[in-house]
Amino acid sequence: MNASDRSARIRETDIYARLRETVLAALAQVVPDLPPEIAARVEVSPAKDPAHGDMATNAAMVSAKAARQPPAKIAAALVQHLTASPDIQTAEAAGPGFVNLRLKPQAFRALLPVILSSGEAYGDATTGTGTKINVEYVSANPTGPMHIGHCRGAVVGDALANLLTKAGFDVTKEYYINDAGAQVTALAWAAYWRYLQAIGSPMTEEEFANEVPGGLQYKGEYLIQVGQALATQYLASLATPDLGIASPELWIDTVKDHTIHAMMTEIREDLRLLGVQQDIFSSERALVASGAADRIIEKLHADGLIYEGVLEPPKGKTPEDWEPRPQTLFRSTEFGDDVDRPLRKSDGSNTYFANDIAYHADKIDRGYDVLIDILGADHGGYVPRMKAAVKALSQGTTKFDAVLCQIVHIMKGGQPVRMSKRAGTYVTLRDLLEEVGKDAVRFTMLTRNSDAQMEFDLDKVLATTRENPVFYVQYAHARCRSVLRAAAEITTTDDLATASVDTLASEPELTLIRRLALWPRTVEAAALAHEPHRIAFFLYDLAADFHMLWNRGKDDATLRFIQADHLQETRARLALVAATAVVIRSGLQVMGVTPVEEMR
């Protein structure tokens, strides 16, 4: 299918886009020669109060100034034109210039065969056509197993990348390995301690820690295997003859390389178990070794964006890159930041921010139009400086956005879950996956906006109640599939796109169809806002509408899905059930959650 055909197909599936074209055609009759930039602001959106209709448009409001007419006058004229549309049952002017629209039931019913023939592609959009986006997420320091904080960022980033892809963007998923700096050096010392243990060194942990710059920081059991692997490969060659600490320059790079590789192997496995697969893994060490940061500083200097100066003492917590002496500073305030930022310290070494600028410059050079970083909430102060850097490096042509993920607290029995013995200081992602499974983890992590703190209650996640959104949505899909399996005994269910759906007239049925009609709009809005949690909210509401219809069928025999004596009505309802299952699967696909065929 070429791009033109795909766009036409998507317009066919998006009833809001189709009605917007109807409104624009009517507006062209009322306000001839309306400037394109004004027409672009015309919206058709769900009515805030269902009692007022299905949709509302702001066409009269946004065109009034250009038309030099009162909004109410334009709205009244629009009503006359819109009521002639075969899809519109009523059109009423309201408020200061809105027009409320109520659609004929057949306008919604006509979506069912389109949904069924489109399958999970229903909701696909062309919003992002031609736009290349890089979504960088997880990017955890390779200093240990992934923990719960990493988990939330991984799920949010992965779901956002899936969502943007569904909206038509060209998306690359990337992991930036923070394998340079003091933390990785500290990790190497910790791994070396486990190596000394493995070769039978007589040193005690306290004796070793006294020799480590900054002390022994990483004490988790996960490094025991790393030390044993080093001992197997190098025997005692990395230690002194008496099995003590050799000079660091003789072993530090070897141990660092080995440990980073081991940690990244484990992290990749954690990601695989979570259902995350990135396209690119970029190394900070490789970036630093290439001299990229120095080249970027030279470029910014040539552009007049670098100077030597002393920053005012910061208020509150002092950042690690502030010094009360001259530093090489980037004029980030010229690009919207609140303070200029150091790129080099007084000793001539580069700051972490210099490396980060070089990394984002590399992404710009790779041709991305939008860069999205998924960050922990403690990186909020990082956002203005990086926005400024990207704007400066790209001359404003590349956009930067950051999605911040707040802390997740794991609860069980009303109490916080204790730390992992294996990790030593925190609950690992592997612990959580083994407890509740990938699907429950991914869905639950998306049930709140990422910038809100979350309590991940293990008891609720495993409960089979409406209060557990994972179960509630999965149960709706399982019920759909159960109905279709049962119906196969009296009719075929593989050709429901051709079924007549005119008999779907009850309010619960139409309510469910109206919800299905919102799916394309939900995808587009969530993608543009970079808010994948909206998908979880939509699926919960969709499941609620379906369960309500199911329960009404238990009380009213005329609303039951399968009625052997009324085959036409049955096939119409089966088409609705199948379309509901399609949209649930489409949403779960974005979330990276596997739909279930039956509940166990």
Q: Side-chain half-sphere of 568: how many Cα atoms within 13 Å?
A: 5
The pLDDT of 208-234, averaged and rounded, is 94
pLDDT at 169: 97
pLDDT at 349: 87
Tens of pLDDT along 326-363? 889 999 999 999 999 999 988 888 999 999 999 999 99
Fold for domain 132-137+146-178+278-405?
Rossmann fold (3.40.50)
318 pLDDT band (50/70/90 cuts)?
A: low
Cβ atoms of 472 and 540 closer than 8 Å: yes
pLDDT at 561: 94
Angle made by CA atoms 207, 146, 445, in degrees to the nearest 5? 145
Instruction: Kindly give the pairing relationship between strand 170-177 and strand 280-283.
Output: parallel
Tell me if residue 456 falls in helix, strand or coil: strand
Find the range with the poorest average confidence among 163-177, 309-323, 400-414, 435-449: 309-323
On the question of pLDDT at 268 being above 90, the answer is: yes
pLDDT at 312: 80
The pLDDT of 507-533, averaged and rounded, is 96
Q: Which CATH superfamily is domain 3-103 in?
A: Arginyl tRNA synthetase N-terminal domain (3.30.1360.70)
The pLDDT of 412-425, averaged and rounded, is 76
Distance CA 140, CA 157 (A): 13
pTM of the predicted model as reported, rounded to 2 decimal places: 0.93
On the question of pLDDT at 252 being above 60, the answer is: yes
Q: What percent of the chain has pLDDT over 90?
A: 80
Q: Which residues, 6+ apart, have CB-to-CB distance to 80 below 8 Å?
A: none
The pLDDT of 143-156, averaged and rounded, is 92
Cβ atoms of 542 and 516 closer than 8 Å: yes
pLDDT at 1: 47
Q: Which amino acid is at 41?
A: R
CA end-to-end distance (rounded Å), the chain: 40
Cβ atoms of 588 and 598 closer than 8 Å: no
Query: 69-74 — which CB contacts under 8 Å span 24+ positions?
Result: 69/31, 70/97, 71/96, 71/97, 72/96, 72/97, 74/27, 74/30, 74/31
Q: Which residues, 6+ apart, have CB-to-CB distance to 362 below 8 Å?
A: 282, 287, 292
pLDDT at 95: 85
pLDDT at 149: 84
pLDDT at 296: 95
Tens of pLDDT along 465-493? 888 999 999 999 999 999 999 999 999 88
Distance CA 511, CA 578 (A): 16
Tell me if residue 410 falls in helix, strand or coil: strand
On the question of pLDDT at 430 being above 80, the answer is: yes
Q: Which amino acid is at 208?
A: F
315 pLDDT band (50/70/90 cuts)?
A: confident
On the question of pLDDT at 442 being above 60, the answer is: yes
Q: Which residues, 6+ apart, have CB-to-CB distance to 599 below 8 Å?
A: 464, 471, 474, 475, 478
8 pLDDT band (50/70/90 cuts)?
A: low
Fold for domain 469-591?
Isoleucyl-tRNA Synthetase; Domain 1 (1.10.730)
pLDDT at 432: 92
More confident residue, 290 or 318: 290
**For residue 311, which of 332, 295, 294 has the smallest C-alpha distance?**
332
Cβ atoms of 247 and 239 closer than 8 Å: no
Mean pLDDT score of the chain: 93
On the question of pLDDT at 133 being above 80, the answer is: yes
Cβ atoms of 497 and 117 closer than 8 Å: yes
pLDDT at 451: 93
On the question of pLDDT at 370 being above 70, the answer is: yes
On the question of pLDDT at 193 being above 80, the answer is: yes
On the question of pLDDT at 304 being above 70, the answer is: yes
CA 195 to chain centre: 40
The pLDDT of 496-511, averaged and rounded, is 95
Tens of pLDDT along 557-587? 888 999 989 999 999 999 999 999 999 999 9
pLDDT at 310: 87
Q: Where exactly are the structural domains of the chain?
A: 3-103, 132-137+146-178+278-405, 469-591
On the question of pLDDT at 314 being above 80, the answer is: no
